[in-house]
Every structure is written in C-alpha cells, then in structure tokens.
C-alpha cells in the first residue's frame, strides 16, 4: 500500500501548528503525525510542503453553484463542474444548496446529488442543503416569492427518505416549520434560520426544537433592535446556534463580520460563500431559479436589486475574514474547516488534521493561495498545471 507523506510544511492541527513533522496518509485517512525524519519506503509518495501551510480542506455548507453550474440544474455534470472548481479554491467538501422552487425541481436536485458518485478529480459533496421554500416573503432576498410556502410533510418527507438532505434553511415562524424541525432532527438533519421574520423568542423556541444554525447571518432576516432583538439577536445571543457568514465585503460590512465573530466566537462562526453559478466566471447575466441575475464587478443582483448570492470563493472568504476580524490565520481557519464539520456532525472525521480523519488536506502559500488540494488522499488540484496529477497517487 502506497503511503502518502506530506513533509516540511507548517501543519495546522487542532492543538497547535507543528513544524518538522510529517503527515502520514494511508487508505485515504490520516494515520499519524510524526516528528523528525521518517523512515521512507520505496513505494511512499512524498509531497514536499517546504514553506507552505498544511491545513484541513475548506468545507462550504452553503453554495448554490459555480463555473456556470447550479445545484438546481440537477445533472451529474453540474456537480462535477462545481467539484472541480471548488477544489481549485481549497474546498474539499461542500453541500450543494437548492433555491426555492416547485416540489418537482427541488426533489430532482436532491435526487441528483443522492445518486451522483463522488468525483475523482474534485471536492466531495457531503449532502444537500435545502434553502427554502419554507421562507418568509418580506425577507425573501433573491428567493422567488411565488415559490414560498408553509412546510408540507408530504413534500419534506420525500426529501428525508433520500438520506442526503443534511441541512435545511427555513423560517421557523411559518406554519409547520417546528414540526419539520422535530422530525428532521430525529433523523440527523440540521436546521438553519434565514429569509425569516422570526422574533428573538421564535429563534430561541426553534433552537429548543433543535435548530442550530443561522444562515447568512444578518442577510435576509429581521434585524437587530435594542428592544426587539429579532432574528439576528436570537442567532447572536443563543450559544447553541452557529452563525453562517458571507465574508465577501459586500453582504456584510467588515465591522459586522468582526461583530459576529466577537459575539459568537470562532467556535460558533461558519464561513460560507453562498456562491451562484457566476462564481469563477466573468461578469454578465446568469440564471438563478428562473430569474435573470446581473453580475457586475463580481456582485450578483436580481432585477429588483436584491443581492442574489455571491461570486465569493472560500480561499478569499478566509482572507477577508482575517482582515475584517483582525484575527490571525490559525484562529480564522477553524471557521472554514472544523467548525462547519462539527456543525454538520462530522467532528473528528473532516475539517481536522488528526489521526483517523479523512485525508482532506490543502497546501497554502503565505498569501493563502491554494497550491494543492487533496481529497481522501488523492491529489485533485495542483496550482501548476504541469505538475497536476489526477486520481490515485
Ligand atoms: Zn439565502
């Protein structure tokens, strides 16, 4: 069995950053972190990470598309296109995210992910994030209003049967939402609040039922007021809730990113992209759930002028969050790795460099550019095309 040994880099582990260590990988898993010179065998594959960060791969729990592909297109090709693009941004695992739609297209998007094999040359899909359609009209953002409706057991039970739906964003104040949370939580599904007019009290009540995330905190929800804390106040104040953050410099003022991180701490903050198919593409017009989205200078808006997702990438999100929060790389990194993994019930399995975890590893230079991405022990992306190795190493 070929061992993969990453040596010479700054290896970021849950406890501390290790120098003069080697990360040893076998069968797609991290087996050990060894100090000093390792006895190297003739079949070992050595990766020299001299001068580079060696970190867990990024995990994006909220992303609709990229590279012209959208989760709602519901074909294996779009999943493949997204997977390859995300690998180039340091993402090793992601949750293809739906938009509000009629029942059939939503089910088709879920079924597509459920049946789509993991790509050999890109990020792995870890489940579906269903965003909508059980959302509030006032805070719809770019979610098409005519699709928004109350939670319907006949519809969502078919989602749950697939076993691939891992996260649902809803407005907990809508009729039937709390029943859905009760049922979903009993089946291991996570819930997030957004596109919601939920009061502070309604957010806390939803958390009592098992809701554990705020989707794109501050965007598409009842805001903060000192006598009516609203949806934002519930997310910020309740320590059970993880706050998703779009750190693209557009959806949130950098001061708000800093405020969220200070209120929630990095342990309860999740960096997301909320990217749409225009991510990784030039400015222009793109489809989002049947609506035309205009992308100008990387900013995506619908015809009504609402922000409609982003063109953010996870590597940029990490850099932006560092700048906004004033925190260093090793403090910000968990918000893109171990924290989303923990929030999605993958603690110790993903988002961490420790024995037993999946070998989802990235190499970054000092500017935090992605030099190499490895998923389950396979190199799926290398910055220098000539050195690119696809498949099993
Ligand atoms: Zn949204």
Residue 120 inside a domain? The answer is yes
- CA dist., res. 132 & res. 366, Å (int): 39
pLDDT at 5 over 90: yes
Residues 48 and 144 both lie in one domain: no
- CA dist., res. 203 & res. 283, Å (int): 37
Residues 184 and 245 both lie in one domain: yes
Residue 392 inside a domain? The answer is no
Residues 68 and 183 both lie in one domain: yes
What's the pLDDT at 37?
A: 75
Q: Give residue 19's domain range.
A: 4-55+352-387
- CA dist., res. 348 & res. 74, Å (int): 31
- Which tops the pLDDT comparison, 92 or 386? 92
Distance from Cα 275 to the centre of ligand 1, integer Å: 10
Residues 107 and 31 both lie in one domain: no
Q: With cut-offs at 50, 70 and 90, classify the pLDDT of residue 36.
A: confident
Looking at the structure of the chain, the number of domains it has is: 2
Residues 35 and 77 both lie in one domain: no
- The catalytically annotated residue of 248, 274, 315, 358 is 274
pLDDT single digits (tens) 246-291: 999 999 999 999 999 999 999 999 999 999 999 999 999 998 888 8
pLDDT single digits (tens) 330-387: 999 999 999 999 999 999 999 999 999 999 999 999 999 999 999 999 999 999 744 4
Q: State pTM to two decimals.
A: 0.96
Here the CATH number for the domain that contains residue 20 is 2.30.40.10
pLDDT at 160 over 70: yes
Above pLDDT 90, what percent of the chain? 93
pLDDT at 390 over 60: no
Distance from Cα 267 to the centre of ligand 1, integer Å: 22
Residues 250 and 327 both lie in one domain: yes
- Could you tell me the maximum CA-CA distance found in the chain, to the nearest angstrom? 68
- CA dist., res. 132 & res. 197, Å (int): 14
What's the pLDDT at 393?
A: 44
Q: With cut-offs at 50, 70 and 90, classify the pLDDT of residue 203.
A: very high
317-356 burial, b at 16+ Cβ within 10 Å, e below that, comes to bbbbbbebbebebeebbbbbbbbbbbbbebeeebbbbeee
Residues 216 and 290 both lie in one domain: yes
Q: Rounded to whole angstroms, what are the CA distances from 33 to 355, 356, 357?
A: 7, 11, 12
Distance from Cα 372 to the centre of ligand 1, integer Å: 30
Residues 18 and 128 both lie in one domain: no
What's the pLDDT at 391?
A: 40
* 152 classed as catalytic: no
Residues 228 and 196 both lie in one domain: yes
Distance from Cα 219 to the centre of ligand 1, integer Å: 8
């Amino acid at each position: 069995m070929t061992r993969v040994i990453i040596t010479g880099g700054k290896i970021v582990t849950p406890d501390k950053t290790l120098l003069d260590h080697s990360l040893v990988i076998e069968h797609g898993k991290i087996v050990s972190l060894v100090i000093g010179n390792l006895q190297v065998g003739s079949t070992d594959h050595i990766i020299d990470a001299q001068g580079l960060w060696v970190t867990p791969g990024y995990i994006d729990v909220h992303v609709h598309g990229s590279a012209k592909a959208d989760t709602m297109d519901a074909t294996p090709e779009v999943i493949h296109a997204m997977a390859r693009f995300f690998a180039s941004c340091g993402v090793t695992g992601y949750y293809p995210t739906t938009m509000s739609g009629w029942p059939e297209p939503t089910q088709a998007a879920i079924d597509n992910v459920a049946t789509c094999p993991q790509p050999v040359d890109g990020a792995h899909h870890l489940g579906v994030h269903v965003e909508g359609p059980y959302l509030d009209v006032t805070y719809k953002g770019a979610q098409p209003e005519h699709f928004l409706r109350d939670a319907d057991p006949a519809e969502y039970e078919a989602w749950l049967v697939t076993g691939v739906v891992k996260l649902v964003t809803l407005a907990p104040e809508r009729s039937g939402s709390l029943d859905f949370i009760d049922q979903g939580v009993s089946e291991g599904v996570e819930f997030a609040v957004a596109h919601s007019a939920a009061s502070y009290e309604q957010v806390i009540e939803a958390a009592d039922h098992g809701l554990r995330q705020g989707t794109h905190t501050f965007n598409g929800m009842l805001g903060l007021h000192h006598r009516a804390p609203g949806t934002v106040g519930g997310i910020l104040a309740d320590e059970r809730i993880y706050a998703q953050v779009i750190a693209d410099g557009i959806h949130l003022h950098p001061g708000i990113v800093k405020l969220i991180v200070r209120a929630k701490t990095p342990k309860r903050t999740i960096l997301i992209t909320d990217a749409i198919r225009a991510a990784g593409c030039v400015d222009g017009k793109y489809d989002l759930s049947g609506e035309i989205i205009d992308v100008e200078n990387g900013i995506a808006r619908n015809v009504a002028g609402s922000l409609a997702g982003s063109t953010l990438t996870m590597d940029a999100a990490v850099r932006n969050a560092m700048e906004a929060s004033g925190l260093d790389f090793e403090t910000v990194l968990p918000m893109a790795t171990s924290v989303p993994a923990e929030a999605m019930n993958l603690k110790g399995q993903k988002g961490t460099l420790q024995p037993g975890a999946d070998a989802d590893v990235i190499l970054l230079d000092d500017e935090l550019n992605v030099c190499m991405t490895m998923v389950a022990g396979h190199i799926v992306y290398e910055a220098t095309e000539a050195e690119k190795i696809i498949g099993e190493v």
